[in-house]
Structure 1
């Protein structure tokens, strides 16, 4: 099981579009068994798989979400009966929902905003423990984790649970200059938390070829050997129809445009190769 977080501290860079389509492609084209985890309180990834009505129905039927992993069980305290009503916490009770034959999801939940977790409480390890436990039953090939665009306990939880991370970047100055800051934060977490997580590269998204901004971005990255080595060969061009498709729970592979399909499959195949190369070192 390879666990991969998609991380960028800036919003609007196509992080969720990339992560959900990579997951869909792994399941659809690469015949891999994939789990998507939405640990972003905005739960955008969940909306790519669930319509509003379908999500509400899922919750009414006691469907599990990321909230179930972190919320507390409330005990009833009585002077007569003592403490009652505490239910034991079992990771195996939080079953992911099956989306397609090879694609499963632990959906997000807006109420994640209401959960307060202090650093060092141990609860930030719950996602890691959950994935290890649930994999005994499901035997996933990949876990794709969509993270929030801000440093938070949820990002830390994703890092703790992951083997690798990928950085989606929009080729504008604010986005790609933030890569170094993100790398520094992750390096600090690796030192403080004794993590072995590795960067599996940078994927450009929302690209407008031929523009001054794009050319400047490529020039800047080209002068930085570390960033150049991390950069994927394929990238996502700016396409408004991608967002429209996702609003209807459809994905890039469902579209008729061959160029964006080739970009996606190229990104996925390069990601697989990078991971395989890392594991054979």
Structure 2
């Protein structure tokens, strides 16, 4: 394991080890456990880089278990990634793990508490205004992948956690009035009301279908006198003469919340 230890040390020192890792993966010294340990180093790093993301994708493509746990407490790579990451590359790492099959509802047992990746994200990022934009975007990634709002922290929901269980009182640091914190609460409320993130994303599409039906029956039209006219592309899309099959094709690929 000397080569692997050297690779892990070199990465921690800031060297680009993607090509060296690729060479290691093709040797007899490679094994899945070592690959997962290497990936765990990346997931437990506060300063994820673009090179780290490339390295993580490489390790996952070669068989690293996206649900790997170093200990027996259920703490997965996804728990670590959303807890430690602070930047856009951390979000790309989260996306790579989810794409490789990471369980977004895995439960870790820490200090007699059971928590999901969504809770570890909130616990690590929702108390700081500087990290709230990252927290909001990562929470969206998790919810889009099927993360549950329920029982995030023992039996408490994600809404309960941001309302009452954050470790730092929000009144001390301005979090309560931060636009990103309010957007996070709104996101949770919308997903809760709709039943899932997927159902929530369909709401606007349903509204567009109702609007097109009204246009087709002559009960709605473009208002020409407004200063901000309806964009030509939208006017064409909702025109009664626009073929239904083309409209459905556009709707298949268009989603205002993705």
TM-score bucket (shorter structure): 0.3 to 0.5
Give the TM-score taking structure 2 as reference length: 0.34
Question: Which one has the bigger helix percentage?
Answer: 2
Q: Which has the higher contact order (CA 8 A, sep 6+)?
A: 1
Question: Which one has the bigger strand percentage?
Answer: 1
Q: Which has the larger radius of gyration?
A: 2
